[in-house]
Amino acid sequence: MLKLSNKSANAWRALQRQCAAGMATAAPRIGDTKVPMSLLEKDAFINYQRIEDNLEVVRARLQRPLTLSEKILYGHLDDPHGQDITRGVSYLKLRPDRVACQDATAQMALLQFMSAGMDTAAVPTTVHCDHLIEAQVGGVKDLDRAININKEVYDFLATATAKYGLGFWKPGSGIIHQIILENYAFPGGLMIGTDSHTPNAGGLGMIACGVGGADAVDVMAGIPWELKCPKVIGVNLTGKIGGWTTPKDVILKVAGILTVKGGTGAIVEYFGPGVESLSCTGMATICNMGAEIGATTSLFPYNNRMGDYLKATNRGNIADYAQSFSHNLRADKGAEYDQVIDINLSELEPHVNGPFTPDLATPISKFAEEAKKNGWPEEIKVGLIGSCTNSSYEDLGRSASIVQQALDHGLNFKSKFTVTPGSEQVRATIARDGYVGTFEEAGAVVLANACGPCIGQWDRKDVKKGEKNTIVTSYNRNFTGRNDANPATHAFVTSPDLTTAFALAGSLSFNPLTDSLTGADGKPFKLAEPSSNELPPLGYDPGENTFQPPPADRTSVNVAVSPTSDRLQLLKPFPPWDGKTPKDLPILIKVKGKCTTDHISAGGPWLKYRGHLENISQNCLIGAINIENNEANKVKNQLTGEYGPVPKTAAYYRDHGVKWVVIGDHNYGEGSSREHAALEPRFLGGLAIITRSFARIHETNLKKQGMLALTFVDPADYDRVLPSDKVSILGLESFAPGKNLTLLVKHENGTTEEIPLAHSFNEGQIEWFKAGSALNLMAAKAKGKQA
């Protein structure tokens, strides 16, 4: 537990006096006011009273000032009196306000929810169709094609949401995180979502965490959500943002400081006077990309910029309610952080991050030099703006202002250029206000309101696979092959402003802050600083209504799942642990280097199988590099001696009654929250994933599915295990929290050695392992209650 400095102790006593004074005047209870969480859920109300009541208990226990994230988290505790609260140690039991699922992950989440035997979701829940629309030729045609190709999945989602009382956002609605920001996010709320960029809602002062589908099922079933009590990283923003520097550059800078794993196990909390110069959607951008540093989530304190956005999206009542609760929507004076990063926005340069990783941060003043030194392809083939990270009205307006300058000088894009609106509301508004016309006049293609190329849904034709090339995006993630499945594509992440300027110049060596373009008249000109209204002066145009509320009578709704489908498959329970010590298990693959969830369960064309576990398991670990031969998807079958694909080898072991393990490197499972990366190895007969370290969401997902997620006590012991070894896991008969297990390694030459293994399982998670999965345990308990 954190120790109080004298300064903090004095602040705590002052806070106690303020609270006592407030109690003496018998102020009305915050809960006396009833404000709906959204315009679409009139019977679900914001529960500030719970936060107020919980914090009264927690403050008395901890006797110290609280950070903003602590206030919101502890304000949602299931048991504030008995909950152990130690940052980085305790497992908190929390009661989220809502759940959000995107269509690719919702399929498995809903299939699991159906297996749990519930008839309605315990908290407001929505499903958003944004992942299954492939970018090919343009918005309307791509959407029509997706609706036709994915009809079976969309019908399942539409009927399942109707059956279980969930809100359903149809294809074309927009990207889940933008829809949440426009309709559901509210200051002080707690939400979980089955997508790693759920923290986008932190732009409205909400703690929003990416999780696997099994976590979502727990909350939908009325079970408290479990989260390891996060540490808190503070980012103190001073100065004022302006010029070519954007909110995106804040998180690009932070990513360079913390790296892709520096935020693991922590919430990143922004504060300081510089916050006031950021728009609400700009704050959302920063929180969104916090997923790239492994952070549990990120958030900002409530301010007038959030209030303005709430009012612009017809939620002025929430803005007023939040203002009345603002004392709990900011950190206490004297609150202490585990780490503090200082950033002066007035001095912050625009940044470009990449290639191949989102934490390789380079300021624009040094970028051309770095590109030349590293041999990055100078010609930019494609510039892509939009996505869940940067597709607000302000973002697209600033880009349009840059494009208009080029048009005024007779120029079009030199690179191909695509625009992805974040929502139907944003699309309709930028069309009405002329931005779409500006983009298209310069040669851009406006894509569907969906994730598109950001998640690999891109039917790219301009380069061949394996051809070295450069793309620049305003997206959030740029792992190898992420956008176009081409491992030779050098993908760089930056702001929409720089992406647009780069695409007009067509070259990585162009710096719009110092360099000039040549107009059609042959004269050089410099681009002026981009500008845009933060919010549309004429208000938002809602566009087409694409929301399906649950029907009043759900009894007659039948969920559409065909037994012959290759897209959807009802789930069968995984077998429980047999109680025996696992002996002489083969190593399926010893993974070399970075292994993200993209490597473990690829996206792109595989997204269509997200509701069919058997089919999608054919992509299990096909992108991981085998340290034995430095090749992907080629491992040795230790039973036959033959080399073959990873999924085929895993299935061979399973079908012959042999469990297997994977050996992984640092930050194994970073990236998307996709629980398929845990479901697939479980389905194929895996028992344990043993690594130097895990990314938070993936580690939890593995536990939920009954897998052993274990780490080397000494990370250097990774080198002691050879791909040809057989291993035994000792100590499971006395499996207990905080007690190490032992890996008995048997080498080909007959020698053996023992390696200590750590784990982070608590008592409840150990029960998941013994039962075969968290869902098995839930179903057994539900059956016991019914009996």
Q: Is the pLDDT of residue 15 over 70?
A: no
For residue 555, give both structure tokens: 């009894």
Clarify whether 674 is annotated catalytic. yes
From the number of C-beta atoms within 10 Å of its C-beta (0-12, 13-18, 19+), residue 600 rates as buried
Residues above pLDDT 70, as percent of the chain: 96
Out of 567, 674, 692, 759, the active site residue is 674
For residue 681, what are the CA distances in angstroms to 115, 465, 614? 20, 28, 11
How many Å apart are CA 676 and CA 669, to the nearest integer? Answer: 11
Q: Is 460 a catalytic residue?
A: no
Alpha-carbon span 709 to 700, nearest angstrom? 8
Residues 391, 392, 532, 672: which is the catalytic one?
672
Give pLDDT, residue 16: 56
Q: Using an 8 Å Cβ cutoff, are 638 and 726 in contact?
A: yes
The pLDDT tens digits for 302-350 are 999 999 999 999 999 999 999 999 999 999 999 999 999 999 999 999 9
Q: Please determine, for residue 784, whether its predicted confidence score (pLDDT) is greater than 90.
A: no
State the residue for tokens 């997923």.
291
Q: How far is CA 768 from CA 210, 705, 765, 773, 778, in A?
A: 21, 8, 5, 5, 9
Buried b (16+ CB within 10 A) or exposed e, 558-594: ebbbeeebebbbebeebeebeeeebeebbbbbbbbeb
Question: pLDDT of 214-250, one tens digit each?
Answer: 899 999 999 999 999 999 999 999 999 999 999 999 9
Q: Tell me: pLDDT of 117 over 80.
A: no
pLDDT confidence band for 180 (50 / 70 / 90)? very high
Q: Is 43 an active-site residue?
A: no
In eight-state DSSP terms, residue 656 is T
Return the pLDDT at 18: 53
Distance between CA atoms of 762 and 765, rounded to whole angstroms?
5
- Nearest Cα to Cα of residue 266 among 189, 338, 200, 360: 338
Residue 495 is predicted with a pLDDT of 98
Burial of 784 (0-12, 13-18, 19+ CB in 10 A): exposed
Q: Helix H segments across 150-212?
A: 151-164, 176-183
Catalytic option among 128, 427, 460, 477: 477
617 labelled catalytic: no
Q: Which residue has the tokens 């504030």?
A: 80
- Residue 24 clears pLDDT 50, i.e. is over it: no
Q: Cα(307)–Cα(204) distance, rounded to whole angstroms?
A: 9
Select from 408, 406, 409, 401 the least CA-distant residue to 434. Answer: 401
Cα 199 → chain centroid: 7
Is pLDDT above 80 for 435?
Answer: yes
pLDDT tier at 13, thresholds 50, 70, 90: low
**What pairs with residue 125 in β-bridges?**
99
Q: Which residues are CB-neighbours of 31 under 8 A, at least 6 positions away? A: 47, 48, 49, 52
> If we measure between CA atoms, which residue out of 98, 130, 119 comes closest to residue 610?
130
Check whether 623 has a pLDDT greater than 70: yes
- Model confidence over 518-559: pLDDT tens digits? 999 999 999 999 999 999 999 999 999 999 999 999 999 999
The active-site residue, picked from 59, 64, 98, 130, is 130
Radius of gyration (C-alpha) of the chain in whole angstroms:
26
Say whether pLDDT at 251 is over 80. Answer: yes
For residue 458, the number of C-alpha atoms closer than 13 Å in the C-beta half-sphere is 26
Cis peptide leading into 355, omega within 30 of 0? yes
Q: Check if 195 is active-site.
A: yes
Separation of alpha carbons 737 and 763, rounded Å = 6
**Mean pLDDT along residues 760-780:** 93
Which residue among 128, 131, 676, 698 is the active-site one?
A: 131
The closest alpha carbon to 664, from 681, 652, 649, 647, belongs to 681
The C-alpha angle with vertex 770 and arms to 768 and 774, in degrees rounded to 5, equals: 20
**Can you spell out the DSSP letters for 463-495?**
S-TT--EEEEESSS--BTTTTTS-TTEEEEE--
Catalytic residue among 97, 103, 142, 195: 195
Contact 93, 224 (CB under 8 A): yes
Tokens matching residue 124: 């407001």
21: confidence class by pLDDT, cuts 50, 70, 90: very low
CA nearest to 274, candidates 342, 217, 340: 342
Summarize pLDDT for 280-294 with one digit per residue, the tens.
999 999 999 999 999
pLDDT of res. 27: 66
**Rounded Cα–Cα distance for residues 105 and 126 (Å):** 12
Residues in the chain, overall count = 787
497 catalytic residue (yes or no)? no
